[in-house]
Amino acid sequence: MADYDRRPGGDRRGYNNSKKRRYQDRPDDDEYDRRGSRRRFDAPPPHVRIRKQLLSIAENPMRPWHEEVASIANLFTDTWEEDHMLRGNFVDLVLQLAVEQPLKTPFLAAVVLVANTNRAEVVNMLLAKLVANIEARIGQGEWRDVKLYLKLLACLQSCLEGDGVFPVLEELFSRAVDLQTASSEDTIGTELVKIILLTLPYVMAAAPGQWSQKAADLMEKTEIIALEPHALQILIEPYHPENSEESSTPSSSVIKLLQTQLQSEANNGWALPCLPRPWEFPPGETEQVSKLANAAKHALPPITIPQTVVAGPRPLFPEVYFSVYGNQEVESVPSINTAAACLIRDALLDTINIMDYNRNVTARHLIEVDCFFAPRTFAARATPFDRLRDIEPPKSTWKPEDVAVDAVFSQLFQLPNPEHKLVYYHAALTEACKLAPAAIAPSLGRAIRYLYRNVHHLDMELDSRFLDWFSHHLSNFGFTWKWTEWVDDVFLPDLHPRKAFIRGAIDKEIRLSFAQRIKNTLPEAYQELVEPEMEKEMPDFKFLDDKTPFAAEGREIAALLRKKAADEEIQPVIERIHALALDNNLDPLVTSTDVFVTAVLHIGSKSLSHVLAAIERTKDRLTDAGAASDAARAQIITAVMTYWGGHPGVAISIVEKLLNYSILAPSAVINWALVRHAGETKGQALARAHIYELVFHTVIKVTTRIRQVAQKPALTPEDEAAHEAEVRSMRELFSAMEDALVAWATGAKDEMLEDGTADAEREAFIRRWGERWLRVFRRRAAIEEAFLLEAGKEREKRVATAAAAEGDGNGAEVDVELEDIA
Amino acid sequence: MRGQRPTVDRLDRPSAYFNNRVSTRNEGHSTPGSRTDDGSRYPQNKRRRPGQDRRDDDDTKMQHDEPEDDPLRDATTLYVGNLSFYTTEEQVYELFSKCGEIKRLIMGLDRFNKTPCGFCFVEYYTHQDALDCMKYIGGTKLDERIIRTDLDPGFEEGRQYGRGKSGGQVRDEYREDYDEGRGGLGRAIQQAERLRDAERRDKENDHGSDHGRLR
């Protein structure tokens, strides 16, 4: 539709609308008018109007649902004969909207139900396509689409013959049982049960009163699977309680919550007050009501579900219900005891994750969430939190903004990973905050405070995500935050998780801006956290100071590098350093590496491009240094991290490039961070956000590379061998991390033991950091192993298929097939 | 669904700007690859008057609606615009890395004094990262300015320089609003103002003695 507007007419309109035109060129106005009226004459054909109305259905809160629904349905059936394009278009659009804008599904269903009273054929057309789509999505393992189509089907229950949707749900359940009995770690079965439970409420809302027994039977069956704690859940728990804390209650799995919530709905006659029922007409409209009641019923074509179902493109994990607004004095989001919590959340999550290609629309749907649920489900938009307690009991205290923001946070804090890159969820929140700052910003503020209060027992990976989102968000809103309320925490020891958060946040803010700017946003007490080196754009070159050992050599090498001297000219200086180092009882390789790398960094200090060019030119010598000894390898990293100590972001980027050039191996970085640097700082390094970032990025780099290879359709024997070697070194990497981190977590680390000044508080902090790190990388290791297992199975399957095809004596076809898979 | 028009516009489509450039090129108004008008955007950049010949533009575009070889099909590069002149490479890295590892970053420079002039090219390793960047980063703030991103067929030597008369980007020549992050008013306007000021000063100097007497 946007293309339409960009046509020449669109351009000209823009021109005419400019101020200049309007005020100065009066005579042209009638030209403008003529065109305006011509446009009015070309009333768009019905299929265009219906498309437009369907697309924006339910978006206008001022328009009663039944009116809107009836007007679209009648426009459709009235023009049934005159516009043949319309029928197919209508069906296709309804199906498309159901999977693209799922908040609108009940409203679309209502239009179909009303249309059914005049043109019953349309439902048959729709059902035929719907069934075909469901089957196709099941085949691909696109479970979300399956769920969304079933939701549409569920809303149409009242016009279906026989048991309607129930046979499909029962069939799905029998697959779930098979899968769950086969393996306790199965996730597809769990997903199927979740789909069944999320479909059920819509059936009950669409055809009230009739299906209670059927529903009860089904829920009796799902109970065993839904209530059984999932083997993988411990891995993805967002909170990581400290040992001392009496084990704070673990989060609930979504599926378990759903089962219990629906059970209480069933006991309550399936009231489901939050679900919209746009197919209900006011009693006054007797004609429409009776037409709906007596409309044609349709047989649902059978849906075949293959015996073995597939997991689909996205790895499935059990889901945990996460909320940043739990335990408040007034309930600003539905409590986890009501079905509304899961039903609204589910619809919002689908919207958020499907609509990643237009965050502006995501944000609008988030802000207008109250349009898509029953009236009075929510309090008025933008009601301040403090006012919620004045709301009289039967009325809702749920703040639509809180519910919406909570849904986004549940994705941002989803382990192991949400569907999209984290920055999408940042962007969605930014956009929502831009659209309705007065409503959204206070909700975000309360979320931030909640997370900050709980930062000490948040999983460390999530702690880091919080930091990243927080600083990024502030960068979009002028870096304003009420830092004064955390001022007491500035005086906490650096090892305290909240202090670590503050330091990390300031560093990240500075990276997106610059030190002086951020300093201006911080209250007095925070000022000294912005250290002098952070304010320098380019770090000092330590060899400019004659008191630094090897100052002359350092300057000489820098000068040689600057004039792009040949390596032979540098070698003598390096040899001189070696000799001097030996005289002074220093490790010659470490010493020369430090001087050389620091000089390279210095001549590249102007920008990342400069340093990359400098590294490129000295690649050979750097590679040799990295290969010379463990100590020299570590010294490269030490030199980078020291030189750019005031700008850890730059240091991390440089190390990343050194990894790309294979000047450093991932194990060198891990070893440097977790053993050497952590040792030198007596564990303090574990509390620094940028050290975690360095390690995390390094691990992700390794695992991403392995995943890419593992996902290839077939590997040549050489590839296979290389892949196996890579997998081996990944395992070694994880086990080295395990060893180092276990030592920190248990207090067995030499540096912790030999520290004569026994400081129990300090030691407890460090052990805790060790535990938190350990949990993150154990999870990563487990996830990668699970991935490799699955990818291996997939590959074997493909190889087997290919071999079978070759057995048929048609080699050429094999190639084609493999490519298709790729 | 695949192939169907989405119910909501996608943010990872190339801009109208790109489409106009491409259709200009298709019409052969200038020889492909000519570097006479080098600049931040596309090598061919004949100034076109908006008007009737736009129609032709659209017709040609409609004829080969889906160009056989879409230069952006596997694009991994983005043009990034509306940066402040003071925004550094490191800041760009920090933000754009959120969509994936950056392969290469080229800062846009003033053709004459080689200082940043408010745009850059970010190259990722994968097409998907570039698309995600369009969706999640384009239109958000960097260094407190809303930046724009556009898919780009790939950097070529020479395109890092501004095409404006005075060396910066064309848009900074005649800009009428004062933009502190981009050197104040448009450079051509500044130039004109300087001239006017000089003239006024000359005049004032001439009648300097009258000034006090009249009031």
**Among candidates A299, A343, A352, which has minimal Cα distance to A321?**
A343
Q: List pLDDT tens digits, range A766-799.
A: 999 999 999 999 999 999 998 898 888 888 887 7
At residue A418, the 3 state secondary structure works out as coil
Residue linked to tokens 């050489």: A718
Q: Mean pLDDT throughout A299-312? A: 90
Give the model's pLDDT for residue A756. 57
Of A100, A101, A423, the CB nearest to B137: A423
Q: Mean pLDDT throughout A724-737? A: 96
Give the tokens for residue A619.
């690649």
Chain B residues at the A interface, defined by Cβ less than 8 Å, are: 1, 4, 6-12, 16, 50, 54-55, 58, 88-91, 93-95, 97-101, 105-107, 132, 135-137, 140-144
- Cβ(A405)–Cβ(A440) below 8 Å: yes
**Among candidates A358, A403, A278, which has minimal Cα distance to A100?**
A358
pLDDT class for B29, splitting at 50, 70, 90?
very low
- Dihedral angle sign, alpha carbons of residues A480, A481, A482, A487: negative
Give the model's pLDDT for residue B93. 97
Give the model's pLDDT for residue A26. 44
In angstroms, the separation between the Cα of residue B127 and the nearest Cα of chain A is 14
Q: Locate the chain B residue with the closest alpha carbon to A354.
A: B8
Three-state SS for A511-572 is HHCCHHHHHHHCCHHHHHHCCHHHHCCCCCCHHHCCCCCCHHHHHHHHHHHHCCCCHHHHHH
Q: List pLDDT tens digits, range B65-107.
A: 444 578 888 999 999 999 999 999 999 999 999 999 999 999 9
Give the tokens for residue A552.
């002359």
* pTM score over 0.90: no
Write out chain A residues lying below 8 Å of B90, CB-based. Answer: 511, 607-608, 647, 649-650, 653
Q: What is the DSSP string of A278-309?
A: TTPPPTT-HHHHHHHHT---BPPPP----SS-
pLDDT at A436 over 60: yes
pLDDT at A163 over 50: yes
Give the model's pLDDT for residue A112. 97
- Lateral strand order in the sheet of B148-152: B102-109, B116-124, B77-81, B148-152
pLDDT at A479 over 70: yes
Mean pLDDT of chain A: 90
Of B7, B94, B136, the CB nearest to A511: B94
**Cα–Cα distance measured from residue A313 to residue A143, given in angstroms and rounded to the nearest whole number:** 10
Give the model's pLDDT for residue B39. 44
Amino acid at B39: G
**Cα–Cα distance measured from residue B185 to residue A108, given in angstroms and rounded to the nearest whole number:** 52
Task: Count the alpha carbons within 13 Å of B70 in the hemisphere toward its beta carbon.
Answer: 13
pLDDT class for A229, splitting at 50, 70, 90?
confident
Please count the residue pairs, one from chain A and one from chain B, whose beta carbons lie less than 8 angstroms apart: 109
- Cβ(A373)–Cβ(A438) below 8 Å: no
Query: Which segments of B78-158 does DSSP mark as H helices, in order?
Result: 89-96, 127-136
**Cα–Cα distance measured from residue A159 to residue A112, given in angstroms and rounded to the nearest whole number:** 10
pLDDT class for B206, splitting at 50, 70, 90?
low
At residue A153's C-alpha, the angle toward residues A151 and A154, to 5°, is 65
**Cα–Cα distance measured from residue B21 to residue B36, given in angstroms and rounded to the nearest whole number:** 16
In angstroms, the separation between the Cα of residue A769 and the nearest Cα of chain B is 25
Of A96, A512, A653, the CB nearest to B95: A512
Give the model's pLDDT for residue B69. 73
Residue linked to tokens 């399936």: A270
Write out chain A residues lying below 8 Å of B88, CB-based. Answer: 607
**Cα–Cα distance measured from residue A338 to residue A549, given in angstroms and rounded to the nearest whole number:** 69
pLDDT at A565 over 60: yes
Give the tokens for residue A46.
């019905």
Question: Inter-chain contact A361–B136, Cβ cutoff 8 Å?
Answer: no
Give the model's pLDDT for residue B36. 33
| B145-146/B141-142 β-pairing | antiparallel
